[in-house]
Amino acid sequence: MFILAIEDFYKPILAKEILGPIIVLISTFIIFSIIAKLAKKIANPPKVQHHTKLFDKRRAKVSSVVFSNVCKFIVIIIDIIIILKLWGINSSTFFASLGIFSAVIGLAFQDVLKDIIAGIFIVIENQYAVGDTISIGDFKGEVIDLGLKTTRIKSYEGDIKIISNREATGIINYSLEKSLAIVNVYVSYEEDLLKVEKVLEDLCKRLTNELPNLRGPVEVLGVNELGESGIEYRLSVATKSMEHFAIQRKIMREIKLEFDKHEIEIPYNQLVVHNA
């Protein structure tokens, strides 16, 4: 009698309806751990060259999140099917009801889902990130926040534009690659061009060593135009993204100082008044 009582006590516990789901949950925990390790590897790729530059860690991080969530979703669906089968429930009927519910929710939040999907692809495709300078339509500024639903852009005047991610189209990103500073300077036709070119070459060598945020040497490209009032020379240098305006201003200042030092004339329009 005692043995029969023990069997009656443990029989529900050992039944597949109880023991089966426990095994499924333990297996799920192990699978989730494996997924987490794989996602971590995706988020921290080795530093290898990828399309001439290091693999974008922002893209890797979002890719790891997407990979992790998709894998976990698939595992959970499989777990539900297995547990329902262990409990003798028709899974097709359950998922049919779930499908109707999901369709209603999807219709109610379809714009939100579009924004979330667009936000994921913005980062995966490396379209832009926080700190980048971009323009969308006629609005240009710095990305100060990138969420899954909206993007916030701050212009140089301080205006903030909030745009839904699904509407972020026709984007121009000024921060993905290096910028190019171009400086044009005129000299008088009466100047000795060999002297002018020597002064500019020496200046470029000095500025290459002095100016910050450069991505190459300052170069004299040569005569760019024979203008009405003078000869135009062009200088250029690759700079860190969006630093070209500051570099151009510094180069122009140094050219003026150097030309004054060597008495090289920069032509300008003059108004001559004749008294009757």
CATH number of the domain residue 252 falls in: 3.30.70.100
pLDDT band (50, 70, 90) for residue 120: confident
| 75 and 11 together in one domain | yes
CB neighbourhood size of 157 (10 A): 6
From 62, 80, 108, the end of a domain falls on 108
| 83 and 6 together in one domain | yes
Structure-token match 């924004």, residue found: 115
Highest mean pLDDT out of 15-29, 228-242, 261-275: 228-242
Contacts of 77-85 with CB under 8 Å at 24 or more apart are 79/24, 79/25, 79/28, 82/20, 82/24, 83/20, 83/21, 83/24
Residue 26, both tokens: 């333990």
| In-domain check, residue 116 | no
Q: Which of 100-104, 134-138, 192-196, 232-236 is the least confident region?
A: 100-104
pLDDT band (50, 70, 90) for residue 262: very high
| 56 and 90 together in one domain | yes
Q: What is the mean pLDDT of residues 36-52?
A: 64
| 166 and 209 together in one domain | no
| In-domain check, residue 155 | yes
| In-domain check, residue 212 | yes
| In-domain check, residue 117 | no
pLDDT value for 219: 95
Three-class DSSP category at 226: strand
| 104 and 6 together in one domain | yes
The residue type of 151 is: T
| 146 and 83 together in one domain | no
pLDDT value for 129: 80
The predicted model scores a pTM of 0.52
| In-domain check, residue 151 | yes
Q: What is the mean pLDDT of residues 102-120?
A: 72
| 7 and 99 together in one domain | yes
| In-domain check, residue 226 | yes
| 31 and 48 together in one domain | yes
Partnered with residue 233 across adjacent β-strands are 185, 223
Query: Would you say 122 and 166 are in contact if contact means Cβ atoms under 8 Å apart?
Result: no
| 164 and 183 together in one domain | no
Q: What is the mean pLDDT of residues 240-246?
A: 85
How many residues would you count in the chain? Answer: 276
Cβ neighbours for 99, distance < 8 A, ≥ 6 positions apart = none
Euclidean distance between the first and final Cα of the chain, in Å? Answer: 138
Domain with 102, as residue range(s), is 2-108
Three-class DSSP category at 81: helix
The residue among 12 and 159 whose pLDDT is bigger is 159
Number of domains in the chain: 3
pLDDT value for 2: 41
